[in-house]
Amino acid sequence: MFVWDKDDLNPEQVAAVVQPGNVFLVACPGSGKTRTLTYKIARQLSELQSDKQRVVAITYTHRAADEIHERIEQLGVDTSQLWIGTIHAFCLEWILRPYAIYHDALKHGFRVINAYDTERMHDELCKQAALRLNAFDCGHYFTPTGYVLTTPSSFKKAAVGELLEKYWANLRRDRQVDFELILSYAYKLIAEVPSISVLLGSLFSSVLVDEFQDTKEIQYAILAAILKASDGKATAFIVGDPNQAIYGSLGGYAITAADFGQQSGLTFREMELSLNYRSSERIVEYFGNFSLYASKIQAEGKHKDFPSLISFDQATSREGLEAELVRLIRYNIEVVGIAPNEICIVAPWWVHLASMTRRLVAALPEYSFDGPGMVPFARDIDNFWYKLSRIILTEASPQLYVRRIRWAGEVLAGLADAGVDISQLSRKRLLRECNSISIAETDGLKFLAAFFDALFEAIELDFRASEPLFEHYQAFFESSQRRIERLQKEGSAAIGETAMFRKVFASKTGTTVSTIHGVKGAEYDAVIAYGLLEGMVPHFSDPDQIATANKLLYVICSRARKNLHLLSEQGRPRGSGEVYAPTEVLVGCSFSYDAVP
């Protein structure tokens, strides 16, 4: 039985970890949700009665899965019977690949395409459409009964629907599956072949779901079917925060314990984590103004009594925004003493952040920044060459060994899925070969291409002879080249250099620049948010303006430990001679704000 030191967890966390059966846990920001989930998984792994059983944990991001996996290993717990990853990775590994024979679109083999492939295909079809469309208009997600278009333009929906039908027909013809179809096909298999749920339900001793408020209806349906088919043998541990449900436009919503219990046939014990160990008492008090779901939150961490500055600026003009951001950054670093990498700049849209990042780099050359326009290739975890690049571009150090050896296992699994014989290739040998290769090339793409060639020569494999591997290879380089050219055109001259490639997987050392959605789950000593304007926060197309604005502001403000600076700049043009006004929910919040010296 896994045990821990008495100071590792607080009473609320202990109660959730030791609670038998099914738990529905609402965790406030900074409450140690990840720690609680980690210890719960570790305990469940230690309780397994058979080497055939599995503990399954569904996370919102691959990064979260990596972090939790590493924490469990650091606790000294064997993770060989743990599967942890995103719902898309789960559906691929446990449903689509083993049961493809039962689906007409999959039974003759299939290849998962990446976001670049999807965007390129959408662009080509948009050029052929009678109505003027772009790839952004083609956004959609699947539900158990069909699909939902995310375009805000109602008059475009019929044309987008026709375009998507052609797109899906092309994918079926070429035996391809995109990101969204993974969920659709998995649900259809689960619904039409009940024995799949029965088998998986017998294998899984428990299913844990992180960030339930960001989970889609179709994802709930897939997991509920498996849990129900287990006939009570598999338990569920569901954790999240309904106040942070900001992915509604993508289909995510915060299900209730009663509704998920009805779907899965389970009875849940509802519990909560109410102690915030992240923020000062003043910041906890402030972001509570945007809480939609009643919850008790109490500041309890080492920053509890910090004299936080919370400012709201509606006077700065769009033209003066850069200067004000520079002033706030300097104040927090040079006066308050906050480290540069403990500051985050937040705005609602990437398009505003990319140009602002470059301007801040020029204005503050003594500091570094991590943000959009700084990453040469997209995070595409389903692409084999992206997986291999993680190993190649990270340092061979003892601190990263556990992570790199796990990545090596994923690379070997990718080779096996492509039909490559890996019987003579171990994870340690793959790492050893990678560590021994030295390529003197400053161009990032040329460096990777040369490294790939050298590695596959060393392991005596011809990746070009494997159609899936070579298709992934071409997609990786084509999408990266396109991204680099676009960013160089926008002013990021050094983006294609090998040194920039290595920064993709390195620990962040500069001030973070991110969207609201991108910063979710993170925390910083100081948060500076701008673009807090009606039509941006929330987006003008959102059907529930007030609720969404509250959730977005809740997420922004609860990221901060010490200081929080909010800006609704004047003069940002909206079109037709109009300008954006400050977010109404923010203006309506009655609070005694501070002036920044």
Asked if the model's pLDDT at residue 453 lies above 90, the reply is yes
CA-based nearest residue to 530, from 506, 497, 556, 505:
556
Q: Which domains does the chain have, with CATH numbers?
A: 11-95+187-273 (3.40.50.300), 111-174 (no CATH), 281-372+505-587 (3.40.50.300), 384-503 (no CATH)
Identify the sign of the CA torsion 4, 28, 297, 31: positive
The predicted structure's pLDDT at residue 401: 87
**Tokens representing residue 312 in the block:** 């709201």
Task: Inform me whether the pLDDT recorded for 524 exceeds 60.
Answer: yes
**SS3 state of residue 594:** coil
* 307 CB-side CA count, 13 A: 3
Enumerate residues 6+ apart whose C-beta is below 8 A from 386: 377, 379, 380, 476
pLDDT of residue 541: 82
Residue position matching structure tokens 């100071």: 7
Q: Given this model, what pLDDT does residue 507 score?
A: 74
For tokens 């600076």, the residue is: 565
Question: How far, in whole angstroms, is CA 19 from its chain's centroid?
Answer: 28
Q: Which residue has the higher pLDDT, 202 or 115?
A: 202
Q: What percent of the chain has pLDDT over 70?
A: 99
Question: What confidence category does residue 113 fall into, taking pLDDT thresholds of 50, 70 and 90?
Answer: confident
pLDDT tens string 339-356? 999 999 999 988 788 789
Average pLDDT over every residue of 109-123: 86
CB 529 within 8 A of CB 313: no
The pLDDT value recorded for residue 372 is 59
CA atoms within 13 A on the CB side of 565: 24
Question: Pick from 410, 412, 399, 382: which is nearest to 506 by CA?
Answer: 399
8 phi and psi angles, rounded to 5 deg: -70, -35
The mean per-residue pLDDT over the stretch 242-254 comes to 92
Mean pLDDT value of segment 432-440: 95
> What integer pLDDT is reported at residue 373 of this predicted model?
57
Sheet holding 54-58, edge to edge: 82-85, 54-58, 204-209, 235-240, 22-27, 268-273
Tens-digit pLDDT profile for residues 307-328: 999 999 999 999 999 999 999 9
**pTM to 2 decimal places:** 0.88
The pLDDT assigned to 383 comes to: 84
Amino acid identity for residue 236 in this structure: A
Q: Can you give the pLDDT at residue 374? A: 64
State pLDDT tens for residues 219-243. 999 999 999 999 999 999 999 999 9
Distance, in Å, from the CA atom of 28 to the CA atom of 274, rounded to the nearest integer, reads 6
Q: For 418-427, how does the pLDDT look when each residue is reduced to its tens digit (9 = 90+)?
A: 889 999 999 9
